[in-house]
Structure 1
Amino acid sequence: MDFTEPTERQALREAVAELAGRYGHDYYAAKARSGGHTTELWDEAGRLGYLGVAVPEAYGGGGAGIGELAAVCEEFCAAGTPMLLMVVSPAICATVLARFGTDAQKRHWLPRFADGRVRMSFAITEPDAGSNAHRLTTTATRESGGDWLLTGRKVFISGVDEADAVLVVGRTADARTGTLKPALFIVPTDTPGFEYRPIPMDLVSADQQFELVLDQVRLPADALVGSEDAALAQLFAGLNPERIMGASFSLGIARYALDKAVAYARQRSVFDTPIGAHQGLAHPLAQIKIELELATLMTRKAAALYDAGDDLGAGEAANMAKYAAAEVAIRAVDQSVQVHGGNGLASEYGLGTLLGAVRVGRIAPVSREMVLNFVAQHSLGLPKSY
């Protein structure tokens, strides 16, 4: 058992941190406040191959695993440039297509994921389904000529205004039983009948949230990802990486906030004493450091299990990692603001913008309560509560 990362991954972290550091949180905050996007950073990261590290080498990617992609995401966040679309496009969408896409889908999409030319959103959440994916009502009907007609509504879908296409989770009727089963469809954002509108959010983020309306959207037969019969496997192939990337996203922000707090506590003096010498500030920061290290280990375990093909083990670890990372990120940002005092909410110090961002980690991509339900039922063997 090895608790250190491979040399190649450490080098990847250093390279990504150097790139992200040249942009920094001021760049990100300016984009977010103006309604802009981190296009320059995304495009440069794509050209350098950082967004495609987990895409198979046969399609121009790095051929590595979710562990490497999670490291990239964490370093961007640790530099104060948290790009939420990283959790969605290269992690969920590219992973699902690499594992289950047809040969034609792989040839068309994966090289574009590899160099960052394509951005793809992921749409599963619906207004009346909540965390119950079995109640999704977005439905695809096959026409006699082989086309699909897709109708439904989705909410809180990230980055649609930047995306070339959306990977939509719908349901199709089983030809034998007539029951509905999950299916995934690639929907280009310029498809007739596909509409999206922003959801106003009290968040300072360069990634906006959208509501989608699909009104009899006609799609060719090959818009269906892989096989109808592999739908559940396809869905969970994307959800485990989503949780791992969500954990890495939170870990990076926690590191950013902790580093800011420690630096300020060292240099800020009151009554000729650095404020970091006081246990009232030092002990909470030390606790956050401990919790951060523990959450990091669980995130790396989840990535290792997923990359080894253990989807069941990765599911448990990914949920735990996502939970632990979200909690420490909230504590880290809150405590860093407290260490800074009034400066913690001043734009100059780059912390206030993250208060809402880290809170999202308790809700998305799966709520803290649903993680606890999962652990209670699957890890502890307790009766299902819902």
Structure 2
Amino acid sequence: MTTLLESDEHKSLREAVSAFARSHPRATGPAESRHFWQEAGKLGYIGVSLPEAYGGGGGGVTELSLVLEEMGAAGNPLLMMIVSPAICGTVIARFGTEEQKQTWLPGIADGTRLMAFGITEPDAGSNSHRITTTARRDAATGDWLLTGRKVFISGVDIADATLIVGRTEDARTGKLKPCLFIVPRDTPGFERRQLDMELHATEKQFELTLDDVRLPADALVGDEDAGLLQLFAGLNPERIMTAAFGIGIGRYALSRALDYARERTVWKTPIGAHQAIAHPLAQAHIDLELSRLMTQKAAHLYDAGDDMGAGEAANMAKYAAGEACVRAVDQAVHTLGGNGLTREFGLATLITAARVARIAPVSREMILNYVSHQTLGLPKSY
């Protein structure tokens, strides 16, 4: 499924990823998901957006979002693609030291290394300004000491390190400012607890505790004074990739529903011939296509270096795709009736998965706040 915005290279990439993803069975467990990840890494799909100098494909978020969408449309969405190459890989590629790039990017690109991302806290979800994980310098050694908690952090158990968002105190103003730190998985004082989730996903969710975690000075990524610039360099790709994740899931659910509607016959007529079945599926397709156009716009703006324009478009794309995904999955299940809730057809597990695209990494309501304030110029209520 291609659009007029795509080049011949993008169309070829989409077709290749689709063929690869469809040649693998749906990953229903961690081992299958890990195998699929490794195979995708060998083919260059995981690192398609990272610099060629560090083993990547030299593309951008445009190519990476295309890859994730096609994987999802084949029934194999990889949640960690939003995290490892899109957020962490992008931030390190843009702001990391040469040593950090050499250490992390080749492994992230070929799928042999994974990195998780820790920003959300129990008392700081959408309001990142309330992050309380603090980083302070040890005057004697120059090391960093991190203390705080994170929650709903994906894939920490399989990640080699976690990119943690902490805050340092500005000596001049006393205000806290965000900074990014690479925390290897086995660092003393860095503890994780798996959360008991009803969400069916191969990637587990964790609460993290950092108790005076000691890190060398070179664990800091980028400039200590860059603040939000570096943070949003990762958050905009996160929104774009979440949109691609949702579109892929929606397309997969819709394809299953269409197959069923063409074959399921009642009173000698396929149920897809009835407008009560056909029209909602057509609407779901339209919604997915429209959200894909906004996702492509956001990706193109980000890759062109337009951070301001990309921020607005990325939020809109994530909103549109999240809504379209939930509606497509719901309509697919409804089309199959009782069969939509059976393990055989594989749609029921998507009901909770689709909600991820609607509530994470930022809720639909916060996106509406962003658009009303930043785009429409309306006053804030908070």
The TM-score with structure 2 as length reference comes to 0.97
Aligned to 1:376, the other structure's residue is in SS state helix
Q: CA deviation at 1:111?
A: 1.1
RMSD: 1.1
Pairs within 5 Å for 1:1-386: 3-25=4-26, 28-29=27-28, 31=29, 36=31, 38-144=33-139, 145-386=141-382
Using the alignment, how far apart are the partners of 2:31 and 2:363 within structure 1?
Answer: 28
Matched to 1:95, the amino acid is T
Q: CA deviation at 1:276?
A: 0.3
Q: Count residues in correspondence.
A: 379
Aligned to 1:126, the other structure's residue is in SS state coil
Using the alignment, how far apart are the partners of 1:85 and 1:231 within structure 2?
Answer: 25
Matched to 2:54, the amino acid is Y
Aligned to 2:23, the other structure's residue is in SS state helix
Using the alignment, how far apart are the partners of 1:313 and 1:3 within structure 2?
Answer: 21
Using the alignment, how far apart are the partners of 1:234 and 1:370 within structure 2?
Answer: 21
Q: CA deviation at 1:36?
A: 4.8
Matched to 2:146, the amino acid is L
Aligned to 1:350, the other structure's residue is in SS state coil
Aligned to 2:72, the other structure's residue is in SS state helix
Structure 1 contact 13–72 (Cα < 8 Å) conserved: yes
Using the alignment, how far apart are the partners of 2:198 and 2:151 within structure 1?
Answer: 16
Q: CA deviation at 1:37?
A: 5.8
Matched to 2:62, the amino acid is G
Q: Deviations over 1:30-79 (max 9, x none)?
A: x1xxx656110001111111001111111111100100000111111111
Using the alignment, how far apart are the partners of 2:31 and 2:60 within structure 1?
Answer: 31
Using the alignment, how far apart are the partners of 1:331 and 1:48 within structure 2?
Answer: 33
Using the alignment, how far apart are the partners of 1:385 and 1:88 within structure 2?
Answer: 31
Q: Deviations over 1:237-287 (max 9, x none)?
A: 000000000000000001001111111101110000010010100010111
Using the alignment, how far apart are the partners of 1:361 and 1:232 within structure 2?
Answer: 24
Matched to 1:248, the amino acid is A
Aligned to 1:38, the other structure's residue is in SS state helix
Using the alignment, how far apart are the partners of 1:130 and 1:341 within structure 2?
Answer: 36
Q: Which moved more, 1:193-202 or 1:15-24?
A: 15-24
Structure 1 contact 184–231 (Cα < 8 Å) conserved: no
Q: CA deviation at 1:130?
A: 2.1
Q: Deviations over 1:84-136 (max 9, x none)?
A: 11100000000000001111111111111121111000000000112111110
Structure 1 contact 199–209 (Cα < 8 Å) conserved: yes
